[in-house]
């Protein structure tokens, strides 16, 4: 008796599932869900861009101040060289000047690299902002369309839900809860027949103990695919 009632419930529930699948499978819903998913990550992405650009800018400023110190030192050096320097001193200062020149070149290269990295981050950020705007529009537009679809199906959905509520009264609470939990997984059907000792959902043969259990309890869970099974 319970089996028949549960099967009847499933039969009606299948109509509800078809409506749900139709809604979830609609372009409107897919676009809405896609945009929502992207927009959920926006804050994190923005924080990443901010961190990255803050780090680059601070590095850039550091290098700039190193550069200005280096230039000061080079100016001092050339002034000293311009004065009446001793020959020994000149050789030392010239060596130092060439060291500083090398440092200057390396520093300039590093600054140039940082500049292009900052530019790249700015470009990526601007693309990200544009993409965010597009997704905001996509979400708004498809949310409205999807809600319209929902509204169109509401009467049909409600009549099925009411019918299900009526059928539910004749099914043991515990069993109903198991059914509903499995229903959340989204895989239909939930209740499947056992034929010649085999679960028709997963084609696994039940062991003797399970067959005995099934005989006694009328409806059990398939140990392999976890559907509700009956004979």
In contact, 228 and 221? CB cutoff 8 Å:
yes
Closest CB to Zn ion among residues 158, 215: 215
Q: Which is nearer to Zn ion, 16 or 223 (CB)?
A: 223
Nearer to Zn ion, 93 or 202 (CB): 202
Does position 231 bind Zn ion by CB under 5 A?
no
Reduced to 3 states (helix: H, G, I; strand: E, B; else coil), residue 66 is: helix
d(CA 93, CA 95): 5
CB 185 to Zn ion: min, Å = 14
Cα–Cα distance measured from residue 221 to residue 224, given in angstroms and rounded to the nearest whole number: 9
C-beta closer to Zn ion: residue 66 or 197: 197
What is the nearest approach in angstroms of Zn ion to the Cβ of residue 213? Answer: 14
Q: Give the residue with the Cβ less far from Zn ion, 107 or 225.
A: 225
6, 175 in Cβ contact below 8 A?
yes
CB-based contact 206:226 (threshold 8 Å): no
Alpha carbon distances (Å) from 189 to 17, 53, 160, 179, 226: 10, 52, 17, 10, 11
Q: How far is the CB of 134 from Zn ion (least distance, A)?
A: 45
**Least Å from the CB of residue 47 to Zn ion:** 47
Segment interacting with Zn ion (CB under 5 A) among 27-35, 61-69, 78-86, 198-206:
198-206
Which x/- pattern over 201-220 shows residues binding Zn ion (rule: CB under 5 A)?
Answer: xx------------------
**3-state SS, residue 206:** coil
Closest to Zn ion by CB, 34 or 204: 204
- Output the CA–CA distances (angstroms, integers) from residue 25 to 18, 158, 204, in the order listed: 10, 20, 31
Closest approach of Zn ion to the CB of residue 189, in Å: 11
Cα 195 from Cα 183, distance rounded (Å): 23
Least distance in angstroms from the C-beta of 192 to Zn ion? 7
Least distance CB 230 / Zn ion (angstroms): 12
- C-alpha 21/C-alpha 206 separation (Å) is 32
Among 5, 26, 138, 224, binds Zn ion (CB under 5 A): 224
Our CB check for Zn ion shows the closer of 90 and 207 to be 207
Q: Which residue in the set 121, 199, 214, 220 belongs to the binding site for Zn ion (CB under 5 A)?
A: 199
Radius of gyration of the CA atoms of the chain, in A: 37
* Interface residues toward Zn ion, by CB under 5 A: 199, 201-202, 222, 224-225
């Amino acid at each position: 008796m319970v089996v028949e009632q549960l099967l009847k419930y499933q039969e009606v529930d299948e109509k509800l599932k078809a409506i749900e699948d139709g809604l979830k499978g609609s372009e409107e819903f897919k676009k809405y869900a896609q945009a929502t998913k992207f927009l959920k990550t926006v804050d994190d992405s923005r924080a990443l861009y901010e961190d990255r650009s803050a780090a680059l800018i601070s590095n850039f400023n550091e290098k700039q101040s190193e550069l200005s110190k280096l230039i000061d030192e080079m100016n001092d050096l050339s002034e000293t060289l311009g004065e009446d320097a001793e020959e020994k001193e000149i050789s030392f200062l010239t060596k130092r000047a060439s060291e500083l020149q090398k440092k200057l070149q390396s520093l300039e290269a590093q600054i140039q690299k940082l500049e292009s990295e900052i530019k790249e981050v700015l470009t990526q950020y601007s693309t990200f902002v544009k993409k965010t705007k597009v997704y905001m529009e996509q979400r708004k537009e498809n949310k409205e369309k999807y809600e319209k679809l929902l509204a169109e199906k509401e009467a049909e959905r409600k009549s099925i839900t009411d019918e299900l509520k009526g059928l539910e009264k004749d099914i043991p609470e515990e069993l109903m809860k198991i059914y509903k939990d499995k229903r959340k997984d989204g895989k239909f059907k939930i209740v499947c027949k056992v034929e010649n000792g085999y679960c028709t959902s997963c084609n696994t043969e039940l062991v003797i103990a399970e067959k005995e259990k099934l005989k006694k309890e009328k409806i059990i869970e398939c140990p392999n695919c976890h559907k509700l099974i009956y004979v």
